[in-house]
Amino acid sequence: MQRNAHTFYPILLVHGLFGFDKIGKFELFHDVRQALRNAGARVFVPHLSATHDNEVRGEQLLNQIERVLEGTGASKVNLIGHSQGALTARYAAAVAPHSVASVTSVSGPNHGSELADFLRKALTPGCLPEQVAETVVTLFADFLATLSDNQYQPQDAIAALNALTTEGVGAFNDKYPQGLPKTWGGKGREQVDGVRYYSWSGILQSNALAQQLNALDPFHAFCRALSGYFVTEGEQNDGMVGRFSSHLGTVIRSDYALDHLDTIGQPVGQLRTGVDPIELYVEHAGRLKNAGL
């Protein structure tokens, strides 16, 4: 039976660091967008900088929200942001709550990422390693941008890294606290300034054998290797973001057996057994529909 996920407002899928909407025939959110459309939702993927800070990307998102509103005749949009895309969506909702019906954080570093903290410490500010890393990463982001058919967006790798550290996100949260929990690991207010806030995320299982076929996914191995740099949430992270750091608004669940890249429905995730990350988006669209959003 086909599920009805025809939300009242259009859905925008907001990508995170190194993300993109489309390169050639490959779409980052292809499976998610197709599943949502099959369920009746109107879905758009904005074109944002692959590397930049949250406010710059947020301003880009605001511009594209206006285009969607003009094109569809809708008065608001539902924002679903993956990883840094959650912070981008939060900025847009805080600045223009009249244009946003809901913000959903999927594996979003809403209190910063311990991995970003480690990388920031490893790159001495103003010294050669930082300059080399910035050049290489920015060139890579520019390369991704040249493959896209969309208008070029500026790139700034170090600004992106700084914006994802615990310190950087802490400063961001001081300005845009909407939906944040009052206590570590808790839930935030479901609605602020007329905007509904939700979140979900996953964690790595205790050992690779517990992942079954998922362990064959090279991206999963990459996430598991990165998880070693977590201290505070050493046993509770998805390889890039800590479980409790991801909490925002109504926490649907933060311990799905999914790594950071699984929650975007990346292609190799087809090896996955157990929870279907694509289905989580369809279920959430139904949740938004039932809430009148």
- What's residue 147's pLDDT? 43
Binned at pLDDT 50, 70 and 90, residue 159 comes out as confident
* pLDDT reading at 244 higher than 90: yes
* Distance, CA of 87 to CA of 74 (rounded, Å): 23
Active-site annotation holds for 259: no
C-alpha dihedral sign at 177, 179, 181, 185: negative
* pLDDT reading at 118 higher than 70: yes
* pLDDT reading at 2 higher than 60: no
> Of residues 220, 247, 260, 284, which has the active-site annotation?
260
* pLDDT reading at 280 higher than 70: yes
- What's residue 127's pLDDT? 58
Report whether 82 contacts 105 (CB < 8 A). Answer: no
- What's residue 239's pLDDT? 85
Lowest mean pLDDT among 3-17, 56-70, 97-111: 3-17
Stretch 221-247: mean pLDDT, rounded?
83
- What's residue 50's pLDDT? 83
The tokens for 145 are: 């941008």
Give residues with Cβ within 8 angstroms of 185, minimum separation 6. 244, 247
> Of residues 49, 83, 102, 113, which has the active-site annotation?
83
Active-site annotation holds for 238: yes
- Of 103 and 115, the structure prediction assigns the larger pLDDT to 103
Binned at pLDDT 50, 70 and 90, residue 291 comes out as very high
Stretch 234-260: mean pLDDT, rounded?
91
Give the three-class secondary structure for 59.
Answer: helix
pLDDT tens-digit profile of 46-62?
Answer: 989 888 899 999 999 99
Lowest mean pLDDT among 29-38, 94-103, 176-185, 188-197: 29-38
Report whether 60 contacts 20 (CB < 8 A). Answer: no
Active-site annotation holds for 83: yes
- What's residue 26's pLDDT? 52
> Of residues 21, 53, 117, 238, which has the active-site annotation?
238
Could you give the residue ranges of the DSSP H alpha helices within the chain?
Answer: 30-38, 54-72, 84-95, 114-122, 128-147, 157-164, 166-175, 218-226, 277-290
**Mean pLDDT (the chain, rounded):** 82
Percentage of residues of the chain with pLDDT beyond 90: 51
For the chain, domain boundaries:
11-290
pLDDT tens-digit profile of 176-208?
Answer: 999 999 999 999 999 999 999 999 999 987 755
- What's residue 268's pLDDT? 46
Domain 11-290: CATH class, spelled out? alpha beta
- What's residue 4's pLDDT? 79
